[in-house]
């Protein structure tokens, strides 16, 4: 996830996510959907049924190595959310992802440095995941 930092350029904040959230985040831009809505699709459907939109999610704190986020609805309502869920919802609803200045100061890195940290096993994992996506069918994403 990245946000522009005034006068400096882009900064990146790396957020660890679980397998389900990672699949949901990657499946959305690829247009892959299961036959039944998963949790993130369900939340989006509930927001829509309530007449609400999700224009923004905000990562506002980093406490004890845990990022804290909130959904910011179009009527001003703020809902506490796991950062991984908030990011997936933002991707699914084309919502902005904002990261607070204190979070950027504590956890932000220069995007040019992101790939230089430890590309070993992560590269293999990404390649394996890409191979999976190349052969995946919608039923692979159904809820168990």
* pLDDT tens digits, 71-101: 999 999 999 999 999 998 998 889 999 999 9
% of the chain exceeding 70 in pLDDT? 81
19: number of CA atoms within 13 Å, CB side? 4
User: How many Cβ atoms are within 10 Å of 110's Cβ, its own excluded?
Assistant: 13
Q: What are 72's two structure tokens? A: 């910011």
Neighbours of 4 (CB within 10 A): 9
Q: For residues 55 and 95, is the Cβ–Cβ distance under 8 A?
A: yes
Q: Does residue 6 register a pLDDT over 50?
A: no
pTM score above 0.85: no
Tens-place pLDDT, residues 108-129: 887 766 555 554 455 667 777 7
């Amino acid at each position: 996830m990245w946000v522009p930092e005034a006068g400096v350029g882009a900064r990146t904040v790396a957020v660890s996510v679980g397998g389900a959230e990672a699949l949901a985040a990657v499946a959305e831009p690829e247009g892959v959907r299961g036959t039944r809505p998963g949790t993130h699709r369900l939340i989006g459907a509930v927001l829509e049924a309530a007449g609400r939109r999700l224009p923004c999610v905000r990562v506002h704190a980093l406490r004890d190595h845990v990022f804290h986020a909130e959904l910011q609805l179009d009527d001003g309502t703020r809902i506490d959310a796991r950062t991984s869920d908030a990011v997936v919802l933002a991707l699914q609803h084309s919502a902005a992802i904002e990261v607070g200045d204190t979070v950027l100061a504590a956890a932000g890195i220069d995007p040019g440095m992101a790939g230089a940290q430890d590309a070993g096993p992560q590269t293999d994992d990404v390649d394996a995941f890409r191979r999976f996506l190349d052969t995946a069918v919608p039923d692979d994403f159904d809820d168990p």
